[in-house]
């Protein structure tokens, strides 16, 4: 209330000749209840504007709220695809945001922020996966198999298109089963294959872009994608000839 | 009726489903609290670690008044914070440069310190400061060697600009994996 009183005093002293100001001031005092000053809505601002507000000192929390709300679901989904676990995905997504906040003053407002978040989350997940591999008793074997030449049981000309079910034609129970099977199939991939598959098909990165980021040749990345797809098809093959829902009923 | 769906489209479908199942977004306030440095969130733990490093420093002070022949620089006491326990160790600074307000450093952990992490969060602490001097992320170069580069506060830049790798370092390390840092 003291802030409101001070504001009223200022208004009164600034222009005592204005009945408008006086009336408002008196009204405010008379109500004796704090007025919630509506915060300007920043939800429709661009990413660049919000990032700029997050960079400043003191940080604009409304801008951060808006930025988090805008990017949360997509970031969570990426983390879910990487970790294959809801709780771990939540933790990973929050860690990515923490990393952003710790370096907020150096954020670039012109950068594709969604992609930036995704890269941070992927790097955190990759580090954790790498550390887990090294700590595990089979670390050396796993690493060797990651760098092994890409033979691919389907050969070099393995088609990308496969006969797999249309999720929209399945019942909810079947969709749940399919989602579980997809998670299992992703879980059986090596971390690198999983990461590359997600980057290629969910982040829409080209093999050349992934190769540049990974410091590998484009052919090597194409080989990883091919092998990952072949593995996925293999793990999902029992879905190929499932009868459509109508027949099940 | 079912239709042909390739793996890519199934992945997109799975991702959309994960998006739909996302928990509520954390608030700005929650994230700001989470992003606070670990020593602010866990002040008692920080104090305990510093105390432990102080004890370690005394041991080194008695054991090594000069760099051991053939072993290189003075050992810097280091505490590795692992999931299950903390491990006392040491590191040797192999390269150190303070220029343009930035610290560039390469160090090697003692051979006994088996660290699986490709990146470490390194907190620089001293005896006479209640807060850390600095925090940086070190990346593994090879084997037990790590390197880091970090912006230095002005007051540290002026003090550390004269440091050489052969000097006794005015700091100790608390190291932990980024994944356990929250």
CA distance B100 to B151: 9
Q: Please state, in angstroms and rounded to a whole number, the distance separating the CA atoms of residues B118 and B128.
A: 31
**What pLDDT is stored for residue A116 in this prediction?**
93
Predicted local distance difference test score (pLDDT) of residue A214 = 85
Q: B64 vs A201, which has greater pLDDT? A: A201
Smallest Cα distance from A230 to chain B, Å: 9
* Per-residue pLDDT tens digits for A12-52: 333 333 333 333 333 333 344 445 555 678 888 999 999 99
Domain edges within chain B:
42-180
CA A76/CA A69 separation, integer angstroms:
11
What 3 state SS string does chain B have? CCCCECHHHHHHHHHHHHHHCCCCCCCHHHHHHHCCCHHHHCHHHHHHHHHHHHHHHHHHHHHCCCCCCCCCCCEEEEEEECCCCEEEEEEEEEEEEEECCEEEEEEEECCCCCCCCCEEEEEEECCCCCCCCEEEEEEEEECCEEEEEEECCHHHHHHHCCCCCCCCCCCEEEEECHHHCC
A110-166, pLDDT tens digit by residue?
989 999 999 999 988 887 777 776 665 433 322 222 122 233 333 333 333 345 777
pLDDT at A142: 27
Contact A64 B32 (CB under 8 A): yes
Which B residues in the span 31-60 are in contact with A, Cβ-Cβ below 8 Å? Answer: 31-32, 34-35
Nearest CB neighbour to A160, from listed B8, B16, B21? B8
Q: Which two tokens stand for residue A100?
A: 């952003």
CA distance B41 to B34: 8
> Is A191:A131 a contact under the CB 8 Å cutoff?
no
pTM value surpassing 0.95: no
CA distance A165 to A233: 12
Q: For chain A, what is the mean pLDDT?
A: 74
For A:126-145, CB contacts with B below 8 A are 127-128, 130-132, 134-135
Residue B65: per-residue pLDDT: 52
Contact A77 B19 (CB under 8 A): yes
Q: Tell me whether residues A73 and B22 touch, CB distance under 8 A.
A: yes
Instruction: Determine the distance in angstroms separating the CA of B65 from the nearest CA of chain A, rounded to an integer.
Output: 35
Residue A53 CA to residue A63 CA, distance in Å, equals: 6
pLDDT bucket at A235, cuts 50 / 70 / 90: confident
pLDDT tens for residues A179-210?
999 999 999 999 999 999 999 999 889 999 99
ipTM over 0.95: no
Domains and CATH numbers, chain A: 2-31 (no CATH), 47-135 (1.10.1740), 167-248 (1.10.10.10)
pLDDT band at B73 (very low <50, low <70, confident <90, very high): confident
pLDDT of B26 reads 96
Name the DSSP class of A170.
Answer: S
Burial of A46 (0-12, 13-18, 19+ CB in 10 A): exposed
Q: Which of B174, B179, B105 is nearest to B146 (CA)?
A: B105
């Amino acid at each position: 209330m003291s802030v409101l009183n001070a504001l009223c005093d200022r208004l009164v002293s600034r222009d005592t000749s204005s009945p408008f100001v006086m009336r408002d001031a008196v009204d405010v005092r008379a109500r004796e209840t704090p007025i919630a000053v509506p915060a300007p809505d920043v939800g429709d601002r661009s990413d660049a504007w919000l990032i700029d507000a997050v960079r400043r000192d003191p940080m604009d929390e409304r801008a951060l709220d808006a930025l988090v709300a805008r990017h949360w679901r997509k970031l969570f989904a990426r983390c879910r695809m990487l970790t294959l676990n809801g709780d771990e995905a939540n933790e990973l997504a929050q860690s990515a945001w923490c990393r952003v906040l710790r370096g907020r003053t150096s954020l670039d407002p012109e950068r594709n922020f969604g992609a930036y978040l995704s890269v941070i989350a992927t790097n955190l997940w990759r580090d954790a996966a790498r550390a887990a591999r090294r700590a595990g008793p089979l670390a050396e074997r796993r690493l060797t198999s990651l760098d092994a030449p890409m033979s691919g049981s389907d050969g070099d000309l393995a088609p990308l298109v496969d006969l797999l079910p249309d999720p929209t034609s399945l019942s909810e129970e079947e969709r749940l089963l399919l989602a579980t099977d997809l998670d299992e199939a992703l879980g059986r991939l090596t971390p690198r294959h999983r990461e590359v598959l997600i980057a290629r098909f969910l982040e829409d990165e080209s093999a050349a872009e992934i190769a540049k980021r990974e410091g590998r040749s484009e052919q090597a990345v194409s080989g990883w994608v091919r092998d990952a797809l072949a593995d996925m098809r293999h793990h999902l093959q029992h879905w190929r000839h499932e009868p459509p829902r109508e027949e099940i009923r | 009726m079912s239709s042909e769906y390739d793996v890519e489209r199934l992945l997109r479908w799975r991702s959309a489903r994960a998006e739909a199942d996302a928990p509520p977004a954390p608030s700005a306030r929650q994230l700001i609290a989470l992003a606070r440095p670990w020593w602010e969130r866990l002040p008692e733990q920080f104090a305990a670690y510093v105390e432990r490093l102080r004890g370690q420093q005394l041991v080194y002070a008695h054991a090594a008044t000069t760099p051991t022949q053939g072993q290189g620089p003075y050992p810097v006491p280091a505490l590795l914070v692992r999931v299950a326990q903390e491990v006392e160790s040491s590191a040797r600074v192999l390269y150190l440069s303070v220029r343009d307000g930035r610290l560039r450093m390469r160090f090697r952990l003692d051979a006994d310190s088996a660290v699986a992490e490709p990146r470490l969060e390194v907190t620089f602490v001293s005896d006479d400061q209640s807060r850390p001097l600095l925090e940086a992320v070190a990346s593994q170069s090879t084997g037990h060697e790590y390197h880091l580069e970090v912006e230095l506060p002005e007051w540290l830049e002026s003090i550390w600009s004269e440091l050489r790798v052969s000097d006794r370092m005015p700091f100790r390390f608390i190291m932990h994996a980024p994944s356990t840092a929250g």
